[in-house]
Structure 1
Amino acid sequence: MELRDVRAAGAVVTRKGGDVLLVHRPKYDDWSFPKGKLDPGEHAVTAAVREVAEETGLDVRLGPALASQRYRMLSGRWKSVEYWTARVIGSDDVTSYRVNDEIDAVEWVDWQAAMRRLTYPYDRDTLTEAWPLRRKTRALVVLRHGRARSRGGWKKDDRKRPLVQIGDTQAQRLVPLLAAFDVTSAHSSSSVRCVQTVTPYVDTTGWPTKLYDELSEEGSSAEAVVELVDSLLGSGESTVLCTHRPVLPTVLDALRVPDLTLDPGGMLVVHHRKGRIVATEVHQP
């Protein structure tokens, strides 16, 4: 029986001027992007941010996703690596990085020099793909609330219908994912199941949250939704918008994104720059 691919994640981290962050691994004597294997049960988004921090000492936020790499390791097993573009949050100084047996050099390298220094052709392909996506973007995360109690089993006001246990777990697992895209404010339907979905994140980070009847099933207003989406795209910050399945088509229309289905707890990440959508990606729970 063929073994499953080893799964890993990483990022092409850039800064103003076009420099690229590269790491050197003494074990293989190669230059590559910061990356590493997923921990058991870990989401690739979370792993990409964690690995950059562990291998370079820098905190990053993710930008648009890049094509995955797949190659055979020296052991004979296949490895799949998911990549994102990324920008540093805070200082990008790596001069104080403490070298170790795994990573003995971390350097910012000019784009063309990085193309020459990278050891593997598939990394050069990834760098080429990242070039047009290197500019700083913000994220609008469109989130469907987590798994809630069934309508049939709930006899009270539907706006007060809560999450079930798996929905609470989904909400907790969203915390590092939203942080990976540097979400700094939450905009949610006023219905309990939406509020409960974003609460772990805002409680953990302290970022503000704003509730809207217009994002609920009962009070949904197409005009208000379009106005809100436009304002979030033009806000210059990364945000999350949590709503319901029946309201999602209106949100997608406002974004001019083709219709798609989000499972409970699923999210659409819309990367935008100066009000223009650059890329999108979907993450199901």
Structure 2
Amino acid sequence: MRAAGAVVTRKGGDVLLVHRPKYDDWSFPKGKLDPGEHAVTAAVREVAEETGLDVRLGPALASQRYRMLSGRWKSVEYWTARVIGSDDVTSYRVNDEIDAVEWVDWQAAMRRLTYPYDRDTLTEAWPLRRKTRALVVLRHGRARSRGGWKKDDRKRPLVQIGDTQAQRLVPLLAAFDVTSAHSSSSVRCVQTVTPYVDTTGWPTKLYDELSEEGSSAEAVVELVDSLLGSGESTVLCTHRPVLPTVLDALRVPDLTLDPGGMLVVHHRKGRIVATEVHQP
């Protein structure tokens, strides 16, 4: 069974815990993935369902894997998270699944958590508890083949699977609190970020410098530096040939992104704290 959840913290170091009456245990908000659901999306959804709070994700934590009472194995993917809006849980309506939701200080949480693996996860989350921003480096979705396209390559569009990939990116980018899109001016990149900006209303800025035809190392480095210092979470959509320049500007190791894949760079005050990769 696959599940996802979050270690939700707030300023001062308090941790959000939930109590499950069925097992009489204290743990982090989490739950199993719906069919076809991405773990990132599930983590945000489960926190909302079990606590009533809307969160955005920070750095990923190590996955847990343990055997349930039924004998089946369970794998849980975790992220650190911060609340968007009010963090008041006093109005949460308790139910048969969750009968208590509490903010608990860090040391008390370590004592209250029922399972050793949750205490290990809390220990891992401690140095990552401070709020970060995300720079999402995105490769455009699956496009028409270059060989089969006889027109201006900058106008080469996504194919149907690429459109589907673009739609599936909407909740993922929202989970990392992306509030602006910065895209190559080529059609296939613009189409990749369009569902997100149409859904959220966040602004998009197009750059010839992020296209295959117009990119330059100097321009890419300047843009990456400005996004790291912008104080907001952003998405940068570009092409496979331009990705090495972007990664070099970020000073992160080379990697391969499939069409529609993304690298999430968590940063704080211009310093990269953690990275994670999500393929389509």
Same fold by TM-score greater than 0.5? yes
Shift of 1:225: 0.4
Shift of 1:14: 0.1
- Paired residue total: 280
Shift of 1:147: 0.1
Is residue 2:35 matched to residue 1:43? no
Question: Where has structure 1 moved over 6 Å in runs of 4 or more?
Answer: none
Residue 152 of structure 1 aligns to a residue whose secondary structure is coil
Q: Which runs of 5+ in 1 are unaligned?
A: 1-5
What corresponds to 1:83 in structure 2?
Answer: 78
* Among candidates 228, 238, 242, match of residue 243 of structure 1: 238
* Among candidates 98, 117, 120, match of residue 115 of structure 2: 120
Distance 2:9 2:245 in 1: 35
Distance 1:62 1:271 in 2: 10
Deviations 1:1-53 (A, max 9, x none): xxxxx000000000000000000000000000000000000000000000000
Distance 1:145 1:226 in 2: 19
Distance 1:256 1:239 in 2: 18
Distance 1:251 1:128 in 2: 33
Is residue 2:16 matched to residue 1:12? no
Residue 54 of structure 1 aligns to a residue whose secondary structure is helix
Is residue 2:169 matched to residue 1:174? yes
Distance 1:234 1:137 in 2: 12
Residue 36 of structure 2 aligns to a residue whose secondary structure is coil
Residue 22 of structure 1 aligns to a residue whose secondary structure is strand
Deviations 1:218-267 (A, max 9, x none): 00011010000000000010000000000000000000000000000000
Deviations 1:123-182 (A, max 9, x none): 000000000000000000000000000000000000000000000000000000000000
Q: Which runs of 5+ in 2 are unaligned?
A: none
Shift of 1:281: 0.1
What corresponds to 1:3 in structure 2?
Answer: none
Is residue 2:209 matched to residue 1:210? no
Distance 2:49 2:224 in 1: 35
Residue 56 of structure 2 aligns to a residue whose secondary structure is strand
Distance 1:188 1:206 in 2: 15
Give the TM-score of the pair, scaled to structure 1.
Answer: 0.98
Distance 1:102 1:237 in 2: 36
* Among candidates 273, 277, 280, match of residue 282 of structure 1: 277
Distance 2:30 2:125 in 1: 15
Shift of 1:99: 0.3
Distance 1:238 1:73 in 2: 37
Distance 1:259 1:72 in 2: 36
Distance 1:223 1:67 in 2: 36
What corresponds to 1:34 in structure 2?
Answer: 29
Deviations 1:81-104 (A, max 9, x none): 000000000000000000000000
Distance 1:269 1:243 in 2: 14
Distance 1:225 1:61 in 2: 27
Distance 2:232 2:153 in 1: 32
Give the TM-score of the pair, scaled to structure 2.
Answer: 1.00
Deviations 1:64-120 (A, max 9, x none): 000000000011000000000000000000000000000000000000000000000
Residue 184 of structure 1 aligns to a residue whose secondary structure is strand
Deviations 1:188-225 (A, max 9, x none): 00000000000000000000000000000000011010
Distance 1:117 1:74 in 2: 21
What corresponds to 1:156 in structure 2?
Answer: 151
Distance 2:99 2:232 in 1: 35
